[in-house]
Amino acid sequence: MWEMVSTKVIYAAIPISVVVAIGLLRKWRSRGWAKCLSTTCLRGKTFIVTGANSGIGLETAKALVRRKARVILACRNVAKGKEAIAEIRKEQPNGGELIPMQLDLASFTSIENFVSIIKAGFYKIDCLINNAGVVIPLKDDVKTQEGFEIHLGVNHLGHFYLTNLLLDLLKRGSPSRVVIVSSTLHEKGKLDFSDLNLRKEIEKAKEGKTDARHNPGYSNSKLMNVYFMKSLADKLRGTGVDVNACCPGFCYTSLFRYSIRWYHYILMAPVFLLFMRSAQQGSETVVFCATEYNIEGQTGKFYRDCAEYQSKYPFDNDEEIKLWNVSDEMVKARKPL
């Protein structure tokens, strides 16, 4: 009988020890993931967060509202925005103001409608956080309403257009900030100006001739985010509007809903458990860039783990200017060039 009991104890102890060991390893690993220590009261300040209904955007909105800010949740699906607000209110009944608004970055008309409502209701904006983003397999050939490749259209052009339309309100809010949520994956980006819409890559993907693990549409759009940040920071120098970009780190969110399947999480569990942050942990650097008083006046920088990050990408001034000009032309033409 004692033998049976001790066998049962051993069987129970093995999974418990594995869980405890993984928990301890994860805790050890997460020591390097920085936290935003700023607790500045943001009462009276207005923040816009795109894609605030889920993942890093939702956690960013929570952190801002905890500091008493007014947060406009700019969401593609406003019903999801209202659900997010209900969730935040449950956690923080006494936080700042929360406003759900419709914004589909895959439609210039939606962006224009959003901006005209903002302009009718607000005199100034203190911080715009360009957080929304998508990762969609290239073989699906998804386009925005104006026909732009989806990563180019949503992750870069939509935010490019939105930010430019809001510049007068941001200048009125000075000292104010634009935070662009990019990724260190921008280092894998490579821009071909003769084919920014990736027609060749999409055809190759449809024929199964590309590496499914690397999505050039996504990494290129994250590189465009950094180029946009640099150009805008230069253009706004001296206006009191700081423009910075950041990487939240590899986080468990719904971003990879079309590329990572449930069984990948099982197969890759040890890697994910050690390297994947929660959305809340990912939001720390975004909140840092948006609120940290000590970086006020610093512009044109890239942050990761609440500290400046030196990108390994060989940035090229000509490429930067070219991207701004082409983006501007595409917005004006309202179609791919």
Q: Which chain residues interact with ligand NAP by CB under 6 A?
A: 50-51, 53-57, 76-77, 80, 103-106, 131-134, 154, 181, 183, 247-248, 250-251, 253-255, 279
Structure tokens at 148: 């732009």
Residue 311 in contact with residue 218, Cβ under 8 Å? no
3-state SS, 238-258, equals CCCEEEEEEECCCECCHHHCC
State in angstroms the smallest separation of the CB of 279 from ligand NAP. 6
Nearest residue (CB) to ligand NAP, 209 versus 335: 335
State in angstroms the smallest separation of the CB of 207 from ligand NAP. 27
Residue 56 in contact with residue 110, Cβ under 8 Å? no
Judging by DSSP bridges, how do beta strands 241-247 and 176-181 pair with one another?
parallel
Residue showing the smallest CB distance to ligand NAP in the complex: 55
- Tell me how far the alpha carbon of residue 283 is from its chain's centroid: 9
H/E segment holding residue 196:
none
Q: What amino acid positions are annotated as catalytic residues?
A: 218
Nearest residue (CB) to ligand NAP, 95 versus 248: 248
Quote the CA–CA distance of 43 and 60 in Å, as a whole number. Answer: 16
Structure tokens at 205: 């993907």
Nearest residue (CB) to ligand NAP, 68 versus 82: 82
H/E segment holding residue 101:
strand 98-102
Nearest residue (CB) to ligand NAP, 36 versus 68: 36
State in angstroms the smallest separation of the CB of 283 from ligand NAP. 8
State in angstroms the smallest separation of the CB of 231 from ligand NAP. 18
